[in-house]
Structure 1
């Protein structure tokens, strides 16, 4: 069974200034797009690199999530450190994920070029950074979904299926 980790990175949500909407938006996409049940682990952390790194390590190494999706902290502001935390914990980077998500987002918003989201692997976990704006979550996941199932298999995770609502995944013949 696929295990999903969701990490919302937000000072304001972590302190209760507002309710996290991005983490639930990720859960909603996976609920609609996966063709089978999955388990989920959720973390809400402030924009602090050591805390983001700790959450990613825990979800990859202890919880053994196959996919970890972060939301927030990918912009150019000084406290936006999610990409740095992701790079620090990953064994291998997958720059094509960030490139594809930005290319897709640029079709609808000019400021997408400011996004620094990235992706990589840590052991058997695929880690993907998404922007913090709930409206951008499905758009960015749609841009990379085709590669995600095969990537998870290549790093030792389970083969999982997509529902008819999801973009068609790539698998070699």
Structure 2
């Protein structure tokens, strides 16, 4: 585990939206993720943001770049997780992952079902590529907050296990879980 806390952890924030990538629609998802991470994390971090179209090849290339070239320990996507024809973010994530982490999607759907019955249509997933954890979130800012709040307690320990940087959370907002015997 890398524990040099003097360096910034790089976190990829990817908005997947045809309209936002063309400038026809304001990106609300990426800023919502940034805001939530700013409240959760107290360790230094640096966002690496992208706004891209709903194109599987482009999503795959972006995830690979953020993991392999930018060395982001965490890559969080928003958008493209529904059942529409252009919604291909989970397929792209699965295609570039070395290990799938289905528990993230299961928990996010469970939490979302408390607010909206259509949460069963969401196909969020997560996967690991090298030393990067990739997590797909929905596109609506309130759902981003609900889902990120639900899964984030497990994210720092997951990143520890894949030899990423030590992420410290604001325990008054989100208490990260790490086993006591570690």
TM-score tier after normalising by the smaller chain length: over 0.9
CA deviation map 1:89-124 (0-9, x unaligned)? 000000000000000000011011100000010000
Q: Which residue of 1 aligns with 2:145?
A: 138
CA deviation map 1:137-172 (0-9, x unaligned)? 110011111110000000010111101343211101
| TM-score, with length taken from structure 2 | 0.93
Match of 1:35 among 42, 45, 52: 42
Number of residue pairs matched? Answer: 173
1:104 aligned onto 2:107: no
CA distance in 2: counterparts of 1:164 and 1:171, whole angstroms: 12
Q: Which residue of 2 aligns with 1:154?
A: 161
Ranges in structure 2 where 5+ consecutive residues have no aligned partner: 1-7
CA RMSD in angstroms, aligned pairs only: 0.8
CA distance in 2: counterparts of 1:98 and 1:157, whole angstroms: 21
Deviates more, 1:56-65 or 1:131-140: 131-140
Match of 1:71 among 78, 89, 112: 78
Question: Secondary structure of 2:135's partner?
Answer: strand
| TM-score, with length taken from structure 1 | 0.98
Q: Which residue of 1 aligns with 2:11?
A: 4
